[in-house]
Structure 1
C-alpha cells in the first residue's frame, strides 16, 4: 500500500459513485457520541470530513500513506479544529484508549493478510468501540480479469508478472463475519453490487485508472502506460459497451463491495 503512487485527481473521477459505499457503511455504525474517530486510508479527506460533521464533538483523525492525498485533504479540510490528517502506514496503526470508532473504506484490499490486522484491532479496541470496514469484492469482474490477462500477455509479462494481486486481496463475507464473532463482537456483514451508470467516454478505464490500475501504472513508464491503457481500453469497450443516454454516452459498470460493521461487547 505504501509503495503505490496515488493521483487525487484520478481518484476523484466519479467521486459520487465512490462515496456511496462509505455512507452505506457508516450508516450502520450506531455510536452516539464518540470521543475519537479514526479513518484509516482517508485519501483526500472529503469522507473523513463527513465523519466530523456527523460527530461534531469528536476528535476525528484521518490516516493515509499517500502524501499527495493528504496534501489535498489538508488543503480542503485541514483548518477544521477537530479534524486532523496524519501520514502513516495503517499496518502500524494502533488505537489509543479513547478511540470509539474506526472506519476503513476501500483501503484494506491493498494490505496482504489484513484479516490478521483486523484481528489485532478487535483485540486492542476498548469495550463499546465500533469498527466499520468496506472492501471491493470485484476482483473476479471482467474489468479486473481482463487487466490481469493483458498484464500476463507476451508483450507485458516480463514487466508486469506478479504485479496484480487478486486471489488473496479480500476474503469472502463469511470470513469477516467469523472474525468478528470469534472475537466476541456483535457483527453485521453484508455485500452489495452497485450498478454504476458512468457518464462519458472510456468510462470504465477512467474509473480503474484511479484505483485498480495504479500498480500497473507505477511499474510502467509514461509511454508504456499509454500503450497498456490503449490496449486495455479496447478490451473494456467490448466487455462494457457504452450506450447513448440523454444526449451523451454512458456505461453500466457493476461493482460488488463487501461490508462489515462490529461493536465490541
Structure 2
C-alpha cells in the first residue's frame, strides 16, 4: 500500500550492521534455489525449492511439538525468502528505517535486538498457530521490530513515500503516520474492513508481534532521550569572538577580513 524510499533523519556513523544484514539476506537468496527459478519452475525444481524452505524455515508445529531443533530454524528462517518481491520489500524497509535505530542502539546492541526480536516474533506466530505445518521464512518479524522501535524513537521524522494507488505520487509525511498505517494494514480485521484481501501466505501475526515488541523495547529500555545524531553533555563552549586581521586587508575591503 505504501513504499517508503527515504527518511530525513541523519545518522552520526555508517550503519554497517544494517548494510551487513541486507548483504547477508541478498547473498543467501542468490545462493538458494528460488532466485533464478523463473515464474513457472518444473516439478523437480519445485521439489528442490520446497525442500529448501522446509529445511531452513521455521515450522510452527515442530517448534512447539518437540520435533527437531527448536532453536536454529528461527534464526535461519530470518535469512530465507520465498521470492524477489518478498526479499526486496523487506530489504527496502530495513534500508530506510534500520540505520537510525542502529545509530541509537549501538551496533552490537542493535544486532542482538534484531536477531532476538526476529526469533521471538517467530515463536509468537507459532504460539498463535501451533498446528501450522508450513515453513515460516523471511526477515519480516525482525524488521517489524525495527519499525516499532523507529516509530517510538523518531515519530516526527519526515519520510518520503510512494503511493501506488495514486500513480506513485511521492509524499513526505511523519514517520508515525507511515508506520502506524503499515501496522494497521497487518491486521486482517482491518484489511477486511477496507475491502483489501489478506493473503494466507503472509505471517501477519509475526509482523504485529514484532512491531509491538520493538516499540515496547524502545520505550522501556532505550527511551527517546535527546533527538539528533550527536549527543553532548552540557552546553558546548561558545566559539572565540572574531577579530579583525588588518594584515590581510584587501583594496576593496580596507578594514580587513575576519579570521580565526
Question: Which TM-score bucket, shorter chain as reference?
Answer: under 0.3
TM-score (ref. length: structure 2): 0.25
More helix as a share of residues: 2
Based on CA coordinates, which of the two structures has the bigger radius of gyration?
2
